[in-house]
Structure 1
Amino acid sequence: MSLQSVKAFFAEHAPEIEVIETPTSSATVTLAAEAHGVEPGQIAKTICLRVGDRVMLVVARGDARIDNRKSRDAFGGKPRMLDAEQVAEITGHPVGGVCPFGLASPLPVYCDVSLRAYDHVVPAAGATNAAVKIGVERMAALTGAEWCDICQDAVPEPATA
């Protein structure tokens, strides 16, 4: 059902965007990067969080980590990740396929500024073997996302000689 809800979302809102189904799992950032031939940072991971009584989705680059202080400051409380059962119930998507498209119920969506390092990203699409390639700004616009800055600053990789 989840993959179908994402396909229906794109059919209605952005019919030019194709849902890509892979023969292998892309349920983790590493697997998704391998399946789609991109670097891990270009995978747009979607995390379902609760802050007090509010539940929200945060989309961030695949290699980013949430900064506790920044997220408390941005959301007014300490965010907690929901368990897999809660995520599936609230979003309609299984863990590994969670995305901000075709949700079972409306949720606020936040896109972390870390995504802006890329023109296009690859978020999941409602199944552990489905994704879309989408422009970062287009994804934010389609989902009504607000931009936030809650991830740790990227640590540059050491230069090689």
Structure 2
Amino acid sequence: MSLESVRAFFAQKAPEIRIIEKTTSTATVAQAAEAHGVEPGRIAKTLSLRVGDRSFLLVTRGDVRLDNRKIKAAFGGKASMLDAEQVQALTGHPVGGVCPFGLATPLRVYCDISLKVFDEVVPAAGATHTAVRIDPQHMADLVGADWVDVCQQPAETPATASGE
């Protein structure tokens, strides 16, 4: 279902966006950055989290870590990662291919403001070898995401960033 649900999502909501399929795995940030020829920060990783009894997705830059204090302030408690089985059941996507598109279950989606420095990011597209290239604001608009500030600052801002 995963890749097909993402294909259907884009066919309906953004037919101009093309899914990129690679022959090698892009399941990790490092693999994806190498395969797509971008710095790790441009890889938009999608984390499947739970706070209390609420599960949601958080899309962040590939080169940042969550800030636990900011998470507690934004979501009202300590966040825990869902396990691979829970991720697959809720999103319909395998770990390494999780994205906010074509979800099996309606989930709240948040995007970390760290993505806004880029004019284009590369999130997965429902499989461990697929992705799309998309403007972060367009991605957030397509999935109805809210912007949050829940990550630590990256070590340095890349020279290729758009400067926003």
Q: Give the TM bin, normalised by the shorter chain.
A: over 0.9
Determine the structure 1 residue equivalent to 2:25.
25
Q: Deviations over 1:53-87 (max 9, x none)?
A: 10000000000100000000000000000001100
TM-score by length of 2: 0.94
Determine the structure 2 residue equivalent to 1:37.
37
Determine the structure 1 residue equivalent to 2:56.
56
TM-score by length of 1: 0.96
User: 1:13 deviation in Å?
Assistant: 0.2
Q: Which runs of 4+ in 1 moved over 4 A?
A: none
Distance 1:120 1:156 in 2: 18
Distance 2:154 2:101 in 1: 27
Distance 2:24 2:83 in 1: 24
Distance 2:89 2:7 in 1: 19
User: 1:117 deviation in Å?
Assistant: 1.3
Matches within 5 A, 1:1-150: 1-150=1-150
Unmatched segments (≥5 aa) in structure 2: 158-164
Determine the structure 1 residue equivalent to 2:152.
152
Distance 2:27 2:153 in 1: 24
Q: Deviations over 1:86-109 (max 9, x none)?
A: 000010000000000000010000
Aligned length: 157
Identity %: 67
